[in-house]
Amino acid sequence: MEELIDDWIGRVADAASSDRGLAIRGGGSKLFYGCPEQGEVLEVGGYRGIVAYEPTELVVTARAGTPLRELAAALAEKGQWLPFEPPHFGPAATVGGMLAAGLSGPRRQAVGALRDYVLGVKLLNGSGEVLSFGGQVMKNVAGYDVARLLAGSLGTLGIVLEVSLKVLPLPVAEKSLRFAIDETSALKKLNEWGGRPLPISASAWHDGMLTLRLSGAAAAVAAAQRHLGGEALADGLAAAFWQALREQSFAYFTGDAPLWRLSLPSAAPPQALPGPTLIEWGGAQRWLREGDERAIRVAAAKAGGHATLFRADDAAKAAQGVFQPLPAALLRIHRNLKRAFDPQGVFNRGRMYPGL
């Protein structure tokens, strides 16, 4: 399989010398995310397979083309998983695409984000060098934390070859509860509960209904359920609900209208923005299906967060940009970092910001 890398090194050199861009593609499941692909497509899904997995070390290392499904199945066999519940967005999703997109699922507020579980990364940079950063151990501060920097970098810094991730045991027990409650009260409650040692692992509010998931030791889940009340969901129903939320297969998420993601402080009040909203992560992630770009970005920034045009057609993305614009000083650092890893600007041109 290593001959694939030799081939890519050649492709990268050719592209660099002729000032062409390469669009790195794993399974293509997250093509919708970020700005449209530019340049010649470089398929990297062939570089696949789990390299090392030792359940007692809580670490798995997989090649970037490994299908996420395959990884999840291998972990489940040993009673473990990736606790941040990365959305797959389709059966083709790969480990490398997951890292590059940097997205986390419903459990994010409770257990941390994808980047929190990244331990090490092997990368092919724009000069055709294979570099390893981080490692396979829980704690590592030798050198800058490039492995975490690559999480969410949308392939703009290089071709991810291999990823080492921290994994955890599956929760012993889970229970989902439902409450009929308005948006303002739901946000208030979620933040109040968040300040208490309750085993809340996910939350979703939409259209007057708050759904909570409790996860942990059986005793802790049972105690929290007694304490919180609400209406308990049948287990099968609950599993389907959280899966649909994670994969955005709910009716709320489908259709052609643009999908905006607002990342806000969890305690931010309800936003005076048009259209129905869906709230996750205890208030820290909120979705919208309509609205004016400027108004949304200004509101998000004012509340202390930022907004992403998560799904939209290419024309809308080109006109509005996908990600919140960066302040000048940060943009300069971004450009410098891009040059440090990809001096000729070969990889995923413009996928995150124009010119990056």
Partner 1 sequence: MSIESSVAERRFAVDRQALIKRLRALLPAQALLVEEEEMRPYDCDGLTAYRQLPLIVALPADEAQAQAILKVCYELKVPVVARGAATGLSGGATPHRDGVLVSLAKLKKIISVDPVSRTAVVQPGVRNLSVSEAAAPHALYYAPDPSSQIACTIGGNVAENAGGVHCLKYGLTVHNVMRVRGLTIEGEIVEFGNAALDAPGYDLLALMNGSEGLLAMITEVTVKLTPKPELAQVVIASFGDVRQAGDAVASIIAAGIIPAGLEMMDKKAIHAVEPYVNAGYDMDAEAILLCESDGTPEEVAEEIGRMTAVLENSGASGIRVSRDEAERLKFWAGRKAAFPAVGRMTPDYLCMDGTIPRKRLAEMLEAINGLSEKYALRCANVFHAGDGNLHPLIMYDANQPGELDRAVAFGAEILELSVRFGGTITGEHGVGIEKVDVMAEQFSLAEIAAFHRLKAAFDEHGLLNPGKGVPTLARCREYTLARAGNAATSPRL
User: Which residues in 4-33 contact partner 1 (CB under 8 A)?
Assistant: none
140 or 248, CB closer to partner 1? Answer: 140
The pair phi, psi for residue 92, each rounded to 5°, is -85, -5
Look at residues 167, 163, 151, 164 and name the one whose alpha carbon lies nearest to residue 82. Answer: 167
Q: Does 79 bind partner 1 (CB under 8 A)?
A: yes
User: Which range of residues in 92-100, 202-210, 302-310, 311-319 is near partner 1 by CB under 8 A?
Assistant: 302-310
Interface residue with partner 1 among 28, 90, 152, 270 (CB under 8 A) is 152
Of the pair 91, 143, the CB lying nearest partner 1 is at 143
Mask for 277-296, x = binds partner 1 (CB under 8 A): ----x--xx-----------
Tokens of 58: 């809580």
Return d(Cα 91, Cα 238) in angstroms, integer. Answer: 22
> Measured in whole angstroms, how far is the alpha carbon of residue 176 from the centre of its chain?
23
Q: Applying CB under 8 A, which of residues 48, 108, 349, 351 lies at the interface with partner 1?
A: 108
* Greatest C-alpha distance within the chain: 66
Q: How many CB atoms lie within 10 A of CB 226?
A: 8
Nearest residue to 37 (alpha-carbon basis) of 257, 336, 317, 310: 317
Select the residue interacting with partner 1 from 25, 88, 148, 213 (CB under 8 A).
Answer: 148
User: How deeply is 333 buried, as exposed, middle or buried, from its count of CB atoms within 10 A (0-12, 13-18, 19+)?
Assistant: exposed
Nearest to 283 by CA among 300, 298, 268, 294: 268
* Closer residue to partner 1 (CB): 92 or 164: 164
The verdict on 36 binding partner 1 (CB under 8 A) reads no
Q: What is the CA 10 to chain-centroid distance, rounded?
A: 30
Pick the piece of the chain touching partner 1 (CB under 8 A) from 14-22, 89-97, 216-224, 230-238.
216-224
Q: From residue 220 to residue 259, what is the string marking binding to partner 1 with x (rule CB under 8 A)?
A: x-xxx-----------------------------------
Q: Which of 29, 66, 94, 109 binds partner 1 (CB under 8 A)?
A: 109
Question: Taking the complex as a whole, how short is the minimal distance between the CB of residue 108 and partner 1, in angstroms?
Answer: 7
